[in-house]
Structure 1
Amino acid sequence: MGLGLETYLCGCHGRARGHRRKLAGHVAVTAQDRIVVWGGYELDEQNQINYAHRKVAMYTVALAQWRYRVTHGQIPPGTCGAAAVVAGHHLFVLAGFQQDLVLDELWITGNTNAIYALNLSSLLWSRISPKGIPPIAADKLTAWTFDHFIYVFGGFGECHTPPGESVEIVLGAEAHVNRGWNNQFLRYDVALNQWEWPHYRGHKPSPRAAHAAIVVGSSAFIFGGRLDNTRLNDLYHCDLNSLTWTCLMTASENFDPTRPQGRSWHSLTVVSATSAILYGGYDNRNTPLSDCWRLDLSEPKSLQTSRPRWTRLAFADRQPRLWHQAVLEPESRQLWLLGGVVKDILNQHELNQHPDKIDKLVIEASPLKYLAAVTCAKHYERLKRDLEFIPKSLQASVKSKAAIDVSHLEF
């Protein structure tokens, strides 16, 4: 049974009905015809952190409806800054910063290198125990899938190097209780259930955290992130067939109107076979950003000799966002910006504030099927007799859009 929008947006921790969930540091993925959101934290009116982990939010495209689903099994502790990917019928959640309740009152916090899998059909969690050398316990790392592997890069966490592996670790100028930035590069073999530290060619990116990573075909791209007190705007490419790293754009300290400035906690989302969209983040002046850029990607062979092109897109009256998530909604092909923080997250004297709605960016024309369903929904009462003659799947789509105003979805 689907929950009403306000019911879905109610939080846990005894909140009153109608209170909207406003998360940061969560994960969000597209899994076929669904959008799945898990984890992260919410700041209350006293700026106290409340973690969410027992439920997942699922948006079903066919119903145009959010559902707030209870999960079971070996549920991960409250976690922020984790990485997540979908492989097969499972959501894999890796590492992050956890808050775990022990003896009802004692809270233990810290980085983890654990990996959990959620069966998206049964909603049953399993903690996985792979063979091999695990990643460094860290948060704000990235992960992506290719073939039967889940790749992991970077993060901020423990300051030890895995035995026999080449990993740079930067402690930084500030005291971080023996935590630092790293450039670990490894993969989890889903079929064999084991961690591997593969040999690679070229020069992999420097240590960083809160960066963004995407995969287009057999190419992985990493942009930006924080290293010590600097937020980067470099762009790296990894050929996943040969595991060869190439720097496509070096970091720049000076303002360049043709490319995004250095940032962390941004989103980079694939929207086509040749392009991705960058949104928001946190710059070197500790300012939340609201700029949006298109990254045009050519074939991997020409990437070695040509410079990828950034194009700034104009979207008026958008809230700045950092530590948010962005997903491409499968039906409308709109870019949905979910959660995050809109103010200076490191300013301890200012109450952090979450965005008050889902922002939906129209990157390209939506499919005619979707536009027709939305139009019919607006005139449902007048057209409902005629709608009986269209396929059942289209009827369900129109009815769901008529019942829920998709232009006002909030998170």
Structure 2
Amino acid sequence: MNHQGLSPKCKSKKAVAKASLPRRQEHQQWVKLQTSGTVPSPRSGHDVAVVGSKVYLFGGCGGENDAINCLNDMYTFDLDSHRWETVTAKGDSVPSARASFGMCAGPAANTIIVAGGTGVEMDSLRSDVLEFDTRTKLWSKITGDGEDAPSRFYGQTVCRYGSVLLLFGGSTGLHYTNDLFEYNMTTNCWRKLATTGKRPSPRYKHQAVVVGDAMYVIGGGCFKPEQAAIDLYRLDLRTLVWDTPAMGGEVPRARVAHSCSFDPATSTIYLWGGFTGELSRLQDFFAYDTARAEWAEIKTPPADAAAPSAGAAAAAAAAAPYARAFHSAVFHDGALYVFSGANGDVRYNDVWRFKVRSTPPALGVLAARALLHTRSGVQHMMCLETFVPQEVLDGVLNMNESAGRLC
């Protein structure tokens, strides 16, 4: 035993736990995640969806050495371990290579929906809607009855609402639409919905988010946005009436090919990036409170504003993701994750995270804190090798540091 009453092995465990402490200081700031595994090639025009604790990334445009190819590969990103893995898909309906499609978690459990999109070759618009089962790794095509199946478009959105899918907008490259289609998983039937009220203008690369019994359509345009400030429309999914909620606060600039991700715990939509009518790529960050109908800008230092003298780790923690569009994002467990995208010249294959809030401590951490009243209790906890999770050791050390400062 050393003079502190801890064995060398326990001291090593303490050092390992202490190395993870900076993760607790990532609240309300961007962090470029260090990932492992088979990392996807740089790309844009892809999309992502969350099933359980994994993000599924599919398709896009890019490839090795920033090649201009459309892709139909799929990867999983574990939100706990930050490890990438390739997905070997099965079935006769594996999607063709495409970009700028719609994607969401499906109405059925453990499924993902991919709708439409386009390849790089002429006459490569897609009209198919496909479902991927994350358990069986099997792709299947959604056909459905009726004459109202959606046409060939790219840049449309697809959302889940109960047992139905909602497809809105899109473009053929020359023509833009504001049509809304519904696919009912129960009846296996497509229909084009007739809506009333002030509906959005025809557009592509907008974002659509379902909040309760409403669908919000945010931004997008006929290639470039036509107004100075972003527009926002809301469709009551019970009455099929559109309206335009009042927008207070710091309203974002109009944009296309941005991302919007919904936090159900606070009914907040987080908007990031995109490009303007002048084709400038953006790296600004906004939150829209759907209950208050108010925007607020979340200001973070840009990537090139990080102090060089701070060191690479500190600079990465203080930076925001590089300006980009045609990226994708998800909100999960109190944090926003941004994946890949392009700045007009370069495509990325990075992952950035912004923690909006911290997850409440697990019961193991709370139990560990109860032992902090005695020195012997702390020493006993630190010497346990296999029965104490890393988060418990983190909790002990964090409390120890706080106690030390108070003394």
TM-score clears 0.5: yes
How many residues are matched? Answer: 324
For 1:28 and 1:370, the matched residues in 2 are separated by 32
For 1:33 and 1:259, the matched residues in 2 are separated by 32
Q: Contact conserved, 1:64 with 1:397, CA < 8 A, in 2?
A: no
Residues 1:240 and 1:386: Cα distance change in structure 2 (over 3 Å): farther
Moved more, 199-208 or 210-219: 199-208
Q: How does 1:334-373 map to 2 (within 5 A)?
A: 334-342=335-343, 345=344, 352-355=345-348, 357-369=350-362
Partner of residue 200, structure 1:
195
SS at match of 2:386: helix
Does 2:50 correspond to 1:30? yes
For 2:329 and 2:392, the matched residues in 1 are separated by 23
Q: 1:123 aligns with which of 134, 137, 143?
A: 137
Partner of residue 128, structure 2:
114
Which structure has more relative contact order (CA 8 Å, sep 6+)? It is 2
Partner of residue 321, structure 1:
324
Q: Write out per-residue CA displacement over residues 223-267 of structure 1, whole angstroms, 9 at most, x where no aligned residue.
A: 1101254345111011112222101259xxxxx982101100001
For 1:66 and 1:25, the matched residues in 2 are separated by 19
Moved more, 225-234 or 85-94: 225-234
Q: 2:114 aligns with which of 76, 93, 96?
A: 93
1:96 positional shift = 0.7
Residues 1:372 and 1:334: Cα distance change in structure 2 (over 3 Å): farther
RMSD: 3.0
For 2:364 and 2:62, the matched residues in 1 are separated by 34
SS at match of 1:77: coil
Q: Write out per-residue CA displacement over residues 360-384 of structure 1, whole angstroms, 9 at most, x where no aligned residue.
A: 11222333349969xxxxxxxx988
Q: How does 1:11-410 map to 2 (within 5 A)?
A: 21-42=41-62, 45=65, 48-53=67-72, 55-61=73-79, 63-73=81-91, 74-87=93-106, 88=108, 89-98=110-119, 109-132=123-146, 133-157=148-172, 179-227=174-222, 229-232=224-227, 233-248=230-245, 258-271=250-263, 272-298=265-291, 308-317=293-302, 318=320, 319-330=322-333, 333-342=334-343, 345=344, 352-355=345-348, 357-369=350-362, 386=384, 388-390=386-388
For 1:295 and 1:23, the matched residues in 2 are separated by 28
Q: Contact conserved, 2:37 with 2:83, CA < 8 A, in 1?
A: no
1:154 positional shift = 0.5
For 1:389 and 1:243, the matched residues in 2 are separated by 55
1:78 positional shift = 0.4
Structure ID, larger Rg: 2
For 2:392 and 2:46, the matched residues in 1 are separated by 28
For 2:363 and 2:206, the matched residues in 1 are separated by 33
For 2:53 and 2:223, the matched residues in 1 are separated by 39
For 1:248 and 1:357, the matched residues in 2 are separated by 35
1:288 positional shift = 0.1
TM-score by length of 1: 0.72
Q: Write out per-residue CA displacement over residues 69-104 of structure 1, whole angstroms, 9 at most, x where no aligned residue.
A: 2111121110101101212221111011135xxxxx
Instruction: Give 1 or 2: higher strand fraction.
Output: 1
1:315 positional shift = 1.4
For 1:181 and 1:211, the matched residues in 2 are separated by 12
Which letter maps to 1:57?
Answer: Y
Residues 1:387 and 1:208: Cα distance change in structure 2 (over 3 Å): farther
SS at match of 1:293: strand
Which letter maps to 2:251?
Answer: R
Gaps of 5+ in 1: 12-20, 100-106, 158-175, 251-255, 299-306, 346-351, 374-381, 400-411
Residues 1:85 and 1:398: Cα distance change in structure 2 (over 3 Å): farther
Instruction: Give 1 or 2: higher helix fraction.
Output: 2
Q: Contact conserved, 2:208 with 2:217, CA < 8 A, in 1?
A: yes
